A and B are shown apart, each in its own frame.
Chain A
Amino acid sequence: MAEILRVLGLTKIFKLHLLGGKEVIGCKDISFTLGTGEVLGIQGPSGVGKSTVLKCIYRSYVASAGQAFYRSINGVVDLLQVPERDILELRRQEIGYVSQFLRVVPRVSALQVVAESILLQGREESSALREAGRLLMYLGIPKELWDASPATYSGGQQQRVNVARAIITCPRLLLLDEPTASLDEQAKQRVHELILELKQKGTAVLMVSHDRASLEQVADRILFLDCVGDNQTGEVTRRAFEVAHH
């Protein structure tokens, strides 16, 4: 298994100028590696910085320190440093991200939302729509709903659209933030199967989840993020430790 991602000392401190420059720790000194075809679960209490880790790697957040070496098709790059232009290209071609909550584009149909990412890769329209339909079907979204905007969907249905949209490109690196949080058991199983299918094809997956059972099914290893309160100073430090899983 070839290493595809190496994160070193990833730290994010938010500086809130509207609150007089108050600093909030997003995540602190996180290090881990990830191989192709590997699923690394990320677990930890609410607010500990799990989403922050994913967002820094995806560059939705500007990391304060650290490195994230990624082996792209064109060689190794530090995702935290490469030009924006290159990040956009990597997102289009290689790196997928499923956010914790779907952000929907008004008026665009679910089918179109899901097909969008492969259309951007240059896939021909009818084949893209067919592929999108196949995924929505597999994830149990009734065909009658495909032409409606996901804005009209239930939370669980929205989350499945979100997953489908990222999975459809078969990315080399997939960042998942609570992909199964609002799903019923059957839909959850389907998502797990899709993740494992991608894993088989060599996709490296980082998956944040509260759901222990979910991680047990799909993760090879689990990274625990934890806060450790210091009673003396009242300061809270964070630590990350890893557990081999399978």
Chain B
Amino acid sequence: MPKEEPLLRVRRLARIFGSGCSKCTSCTGPLTGTNICSYCHSIVACAGVSFDLYAGEILGVVGESGSGKSTLVQCLYFDSPATAGEAYFKAYKDGQANMLACSVQEKRYIRHHLMGMVYQNPQQGLKLDFTAGGNIAEKLLAAGIYHVGQIRRRAAELLQCTEVPLERMDHLPRFFSGGMQQRVQIAKALANNPPLVFLDEVTTGLDVSVQARVLDLIKKLQRKLGLTMIVISHDLGVIRLLTNRVLVMKSGRVVETGLTDQILEDPQHPYTQLLVSSML
């Protein structure tokens, strides 16, 4: 098989909330079933997370509430500083430098030019009292595009692409339905054609028919644009629909990785077996 380098290589990524001590990682994890260090009471949100992601691939992250899924993605998007570990991103210095250790300016550059994020809560990803177009403009401005005409054209194109009626461009997302707010978030995340997109529980809280439409949209965009994505969801239906491979997390650790259909049909780890059987 022709060998190709991963778009993203993550190694031993950890995020500890609290002062941390030498026992933090050994006394937390799936074996003890907790992510709270019993010595210093720090929270080991995730630790020892390693994986490769290839261009065009969609990687799912599943696991119970509190298992560290969002933290993992937030570290990679620089919303939250990683405590330890490395991440090599092909789009940044050809994957030769650890992006987690680069300067604040470089991080801002990577985040605005090379990544997109869709948050579970639209309030986190959108300024609800800015117009939909304005929200998209914000991302374009951050990436150094200042030409007003160009910005409006691109915003219109993106809204069309995410099936938001154009006449809503100058309206406030505060008054949009949940599904439409997520579409605007997706449009914003895709604004600069980023090589890597994160989706955190993108359909949680939407009613079922709206969910289906958003998922359908993501799938279409993925095929059309060849997006590379990390998709967090506790909904195995979403995972089955969108992803090729999956990381299963519990108590801040990855307990199993595999092809999506394999994880769902023949889970190996006791925790994954429980997870899958409880969601059938």
Interface residues of A (CB under 8 A from B): 14-18, 55, 59-62, 72, 74, 77, 82, 84-89, 103, 105-108, 119-120
Is B206 among interface residues, defined by CB-CB distance under 8 A?
A: no
Residue contact A82 to B216, C-beta cutoff 8 Å? no
- CA A16 to CA B223, docked complex, whole Å: 37
Known contacts A16-B273, A55-B265, A105-B241; A120/B258 CB under 8 A: no
Residues of B79-103 whose CB lies within 8 A of A: none
Find out whether the CB atom of B1 lies under 8 angstroms from the CB atom of A74. yes
User: A-B pairs with CB below 8 Å: how many?
Assistant: 56
If over half of A's interface residues share one DSSP class (helix, strand or loop), that class is named, otherwise mixed; here it is: mixed
**How many interface residues does chain B have, given as a range?**
20 to 34
**Which of B223, B262, B268 neighbours the largest number of chain A CB atoms within 10 Å of its CB?**
B262
CA distance A98 to B258 in the complex (A): 21
CA distance A74 to B266 in the complex (A): 28
Residues of A within 8 A of B244 (CB): 88
B residues with CB within 8 A of A: 1-2, 52, 54, 57, 212-213, 216, 219, 223, 240-241, 244-245, 258-259, 261-262, 265-266, 268-270, 273-274, 277
| In contact, B1 and A86 (Cβ under 8 angstroms) | yes
- Complex contact B259–A60 (CB within 8 A): yes
Residues of B within 8 A of A86 (CB): 1
Partner of A18 from B1, B213, B216, B274 at Cβ < 8 Å: B274
* CB pair A82 B270 closer than 8 Å: no
Closest-CB distance, A84 to chain B (whole angstroms):
5
Could you give 9 example pairs across A and B, Cβ below 8 Å?
A15-B268, A17-B270, A55-B265, A60-B261, A82-B1, A86-B1, A87-B259, A107-B213, A108-B219
A84 to B1, CA, bound (A): 12
Q: Find out whether the CB atom of B212 lies under 8 angstroms from the CB atom of A106.
A: yes
